[in-house]
Homo-oligomer: A and B are copies of this chain.
Amino acid sequence: MNLKELSEILGLSQTTVSRALNGYPEVAEATRLRVLSAAAKYNYRPSASARSLATGRTNAIAHVIPVSTQHEIVNPIFADFIAGASEAYLGHGYDMVISVVSDADEARAYREIAARGSVDGFIVHSPRTADPRIGLLNEIGLPFVVHGRVSQAEHPYDWVDVNNRRAFHRATEFLADLGHRRIALVNGLEVMDFARRRQDGYCQALRGRGIEPDPALIRSDEMTETYGHATARDMLRLPDPPTAFLVSSIIAALGVRRAVEEAGLQLARDISVITYDDELSYLKNGNDVPVFTATRSSVRHAGRLCAERLIALVQDPGQAPGSRLLEAELTIGLSTGPAPHRGVRRATA
């Protein structure tokens, strides 16, 4: 069923039918109702391509997910992020187009998508400290919203981010307050902006307590379970091992916990762990009592905010760049406790 057929059935022109469906005022209310019920009856939907050819709008948003050529990992956080984004899209009739693109031909991919005109805007994932994409997208001219921030950016841009620096600052101070002096940071990939901010917060808090950050206790990589495990295992074998771990993702934290237990140590009593918690739906941090002490912020919520902002931007492109900084909550769980007295831990092990 297309417009032409529908309008013939109704004995109206295509113009009138189109206007009636799109809510224009030049249509008598009685006619509009007649049109609407006929459209429902025949399950009519305007063809997406015809409409976007005519309007220049596609009602679709691109999510370009970078996949490093070395790592080939699709961030699992992504599943919850798009769940949140799609809540927004669903409400506004937008489609979500996903392109998984190797970072090698990232620029080409963005340009191509824009040139084909298949979307109205971009959500930028996993921004790096100096991310060329924000320059690129400014040049391309389509609206975009960054999930995260780009520290070294020449132009203003729209973003939604968590206050990573403060979250890790607080978590570090919390551990220091418990008497921990050897606090390890199991961070995300170094090039990622969020990782840098987290490390900043961590280092700043340590120095605030008169502790000089020890490079041997700072690690950065893709946040997998095995990475968390290997890192914690290695650090626990150091001559002067950490008594606490600050971990950038609950997935890596699971690996850290595994290493702790394999070493015959007990969480909270021997080793404290604080993790960043994205509130993943399939990996909740416990049901009632949090398993891990955590700095927590819902990535699903962030997804929704990004999408909503982008929709607003698409519908009214004249807006000045805006941003949204979310604060992470620090929730106390069962994975933290006072620093063990010197020597005690080794006796136990």
Contact = CB atoms under 8 A, between A and B. Distances in A.
A254 B284 CA distance: 12
A338 interface: no
Interface string A254-274: 100110010000000000000
10 contacts: A45-B112, A47-B117, A48-B49, A74-B282, A79-B79, A90-B101, A96-B98, A224-B282, A225-B284, A254-B254
A95 interface: yes
A283 B251 contact: yes
B111 A43 contact: yes
Nearest to A112: B45
**Chain A interface residue count: which class?**
35 or more
Nearest to A283: B225
A330 B257 CA distance: 26
Given A97-B96, A100-B86, A281-B224, A287 B230 contact: yes
A284 B82 CA distance: 23
A118 B58 CA distance: 10
A74 B82 contact: yes
A281 B74 contact: yes
A46 interface: yes
B117 A282 contact: no
Contact of A223 (B224, B254, B258, B282): B282
Nearest to A2: B117
A31 interface: no
Contacts of A97: 60, 95-98
B116 A226 contact: no
Interface string A46-75: 111110110000101000000100011111
Contact of A52 (B49, B90, B222, B281): B49
Contacts of A257: 258
Contact of A261 (B75, B111, B224, B261): B261
A78 interface: yes
Contacts of A118: 48-49, 95
A344 interface: no
A286 interface: yes
